[in-house]
Structure 1
Amino acid sequence: MTQTDTAKSTDTPRAGFDWITFLSKWGTLVSLGLLIALFSFGRPEVFMTVRNMLNILNQVSILGMIAFGLTICLVVGLYDLSIGAMATFGGYFAARFLMEIGIDNGAVVVLVLLVVLVLAALIGMVNGALISYLGISAIVETLAMSFVVTGVILGVSGGRTVYATEIPKAFAIIGQGKIAGIPNPVLILLLLGLLLWVFLEHTQTGRNMYALGGNREASRLSGISFSRYALIAMAISGACAALGGLVAGANLGAGRPQGVGEVYLLNAFVAVFIGASTLKPGKFHILGTAVGVLLIGVINNGLSVMGVPTFWQYIVQGSILILALISASLNAVRRG
């Protein structure tokens, strides 16, 4: 090595640890790990038990189903504010149809639930058609659709709840039963997450959706139709929201015409946006959403176990979301 080479190597600064990149990718998982450690230290006899872990998963299962569907919409750059109403739609009409049929048979229950999910998907496709073909803002159109769906539910129901005594017991098993000690809602959540993960990450349709979300104009020039994928995304979102709602109805053992899906709306967006700053900063993906949903569940359960007032749940959720967005934004600015 020459003297010049030695000087050059001496003058070259060593690259330090990139905290911004690390936090933008791993910060949410680090936060989740720290919260689990904190709650485990505070109440080890309660929090870190198999029973409580399954309880957390069961508590967030409905939120997770709705958030997974919302993730598909956000991948293609669309917002769906009708998911709360669609969840109520799924829970009420599943119970109402079963009440009207009056047959306590597993096959009939499955058939009715499939009909409800198809109806929800069709409503989602109407959303997608209005947005893509008429150029209506997704936020405004889906908000309007939520009012329409809510009005239809209240009109059909007359504000009356369908009670457990009027619903086949086979329906309640969906929300209250267990297989090998694992609650059915958790199993449904895991299966749905796996299917949508494969759909987004390992199919051409999923890759085209990511392309549309990244650059719609370039995708159009490449022959990818936004209208087609808007229909698919909104249909999946509507069906997933209805699935979450009917599982909630089965869990409650009742079909309520209001006050079901609305409680999941904001948390679904929080979970998806937290997920977008996990592992793949700035990219919506199913695995990230799963982490966001789990984080919300751990916060709510852990603070309750510790006896902390409920308002802290909102403060902690909001703070983590803000920090996640800040780290992702800083990383995006540096890349730009």
Structure 2
Amino acid sequence: MATTETGGAETAFDWFGFLARWGTLISLVLLIAFFSLARPEVFPTLRNTLNILNQVSILGIIALGLTVCLVVGLFDLSIGAMATFGGYFAARFLAELGMDSAWVVLGAVLAVLILAMLIGMINGALVSYLGISAIVETLAMSFVVTGVILGVSGARTVYSSDIPESFQIIGQGAILGIPNPILIMIATALVLWVFLEHTQPGRNMYAIGGNREAARLSGINFQKFALIAMAISAACAALGGLVAAANLASGRPQGVGETYLLNAFVAVFIGASTLRPGKFHVFGTAVGVLLIGVINNGLSVMGVATYWQYIVQGLILILALISASMNSVRRA
């Protein structure tokens, strides 16, 4: 062991620990610098920055809700179907009402989110009270929800001519030049960050995810928090789908939420290697979402083939998982 002149032990810098905590953020900064140098006239502009955030806003809303589920150690594969559910039924309710009023839109949005939360609570009840695998149960629920949407819709899309402009503003409007989807994503992130990091229920969720048996012995009710986590995940997925419907000015009965399912998991797992390796948290998910947005946008403005976006995302996820896994081994 190396020693200093005073005889004390010299502590070697822990490069692995440093990279495990900061590697994702360093990668994000390096990617931003690379794309900015490669396309300085396009990539680092304010317009393109807002474009990146707008592009990932729906993914971000869905991934943030999924984060809450993963914090308590549960997977939710129904988020894709729930996103489609939120978008279609919000558009359908408003088309049936035929009223272009902000209060009517607000009522329809709240009704859809409440329905989504109820479905999420059913997921949580089946998983926590009956001990069914969350992966299998939420996958089954996604089939049920998809079937209900197709049955009610007759596979017909609700078009913009039937959707009030007050609803379309949610996805197409802006405040002070910032698109509404970005503001909704930021608001969702702030609410969930405060909930998980600065409330007792949030701390209880982290305790359950860290060691469910120890949490039970401490008097923390897993069943209750499973219902809450699944309800939040479903509501955020429906909100994301609702924003997508407002942005597209159409309520599609299929092919909407599925496009966000895998990327939502990618973002959350990349985030779990940020600052707190192996732990799911809102800030990490936000970094993961932004990383995906920067990769997709940067490669796109450089004219790189789309398939490279998938390859790069996959490689970064693999590296993130390796980092989290090795960090867990070191702690053991």
- TM-score by length of structure 1 reads 0.97
Q: Deviations over 1:274-304 (max 9, x none)?
A: 0000011111000000000000000000000
Please point out which of 314, 320, 327 is paired with 2:323: 327
Matching residue of 1:254: 250
Change (3 A) 1:293 1:8: closer
- Match status 1:30 vs 2:34: no
List structure 1 segments (4+ residues) > 6 angstroms apart after TM superposition.
7-11
Matching residue of 2:301: 305
Contact kept, 8 Å, 1:20 with 1:330, in 2: the verdict is no
Give the residue type in structure 1 aligned to 2:322.
I
Please point out which of 91, 98, 105 is paired with 1:95: 91
Q: Distance in 2 between matches of 1:8 and 1:264?
A: 54
- Match status 1:65 vs 2:65: no
Contact kept, 8 Å, 2:71 with 2:280, in 1: the verdict is yes
| RMSD (Å) for aligned C-alpha atoms | 1.1
Give the number of aligned pairs: 330
- Match status 1:176 vs 2:149: no
Q: For 2:220, what is the secondary structure of its paired residue? A: coil
Matching residue of 1:4: none
Q: Distance in 2 between matches of 1:37 and 1:14?
A: 35
Q: Distance in 2 between matches of 1:308 and 1:13?
A: 51
Give the residue type in structure 2 aligned to 1:194.
L
Please point out which of 282, 287, 292 is paired with 1:291: 287
Tell me how far 1:16 sits from its aligned partner: 2.1
Tell me how far 1:13 sits from its aligned partner: 4.9
Give the residue type in structure 1 aligned to 2:94.
L
Tell me how far 1:269 sits from its aligned partner: 0.2
Q: Distance in 2 between matches of 1:91 and 1:131?
A: 26
Give the residue type in structure 1 aligned to 2:152.
V
Q: Distance in 2 between matches of 1:125 and 1:172?
A: 29
**Larger radius of gyration between Structure 1 and Structure 2:** 1
Matching residue of 1:198: 194
Give the residue type in structure 2 aligned to 1:227.
Q
Q: Which runs of 5+ in 2 are unaligned?
A: none
Matching residue of 1:161: 157
- Match status 1:150 vs 2:150: no
Tell me how far 1:330 sits from its aligned partner: 1.7
Q: Which runs of 5+ in 1 are unaligned?
A: 1-6
Q: Distance in 1 between matches of 2:5 and 2:38?
A: 51
Q: Deviations over 1:155-211 (max 9, x none)?
A: 000000000001111010000000000000000000010000000000000000000
- Match status 1:51 vs 2:47: yes
Tell me how far 1:19 sits from its aligned partner: 1.3
Q: Distance in 2 between matches of 1:312 and 1:167?
A: 37
Please point out which of 135, 139, 145 is paired with 1:139: 135
**Identical-pair percentage:** 77
Q: For 1:277, what is the secondary structure of its paired residue? A: coil
Give the residue type in structure 1 aligned to 2:233.
S
Q: Distance in 2 between matches of 1:318 and 1:94?
A: 33
- Match status 1:229 vs 2:228: no
Tell me how far 1:318 sits from its aligned partner: 0.8
Contact kept, 8 Å, 2:127 with 2:137, in 1: the verdict is yes
Choose 8-17 or 145-154, whichever is displaced more. 8-17
Q: Deviations over 1:58-114 (max 9, x none)?
A: 000000000000000000000000000000000000000000000000110011100
Q: Distance in 2 between matches of 1:218 and 1:79?
A: 20
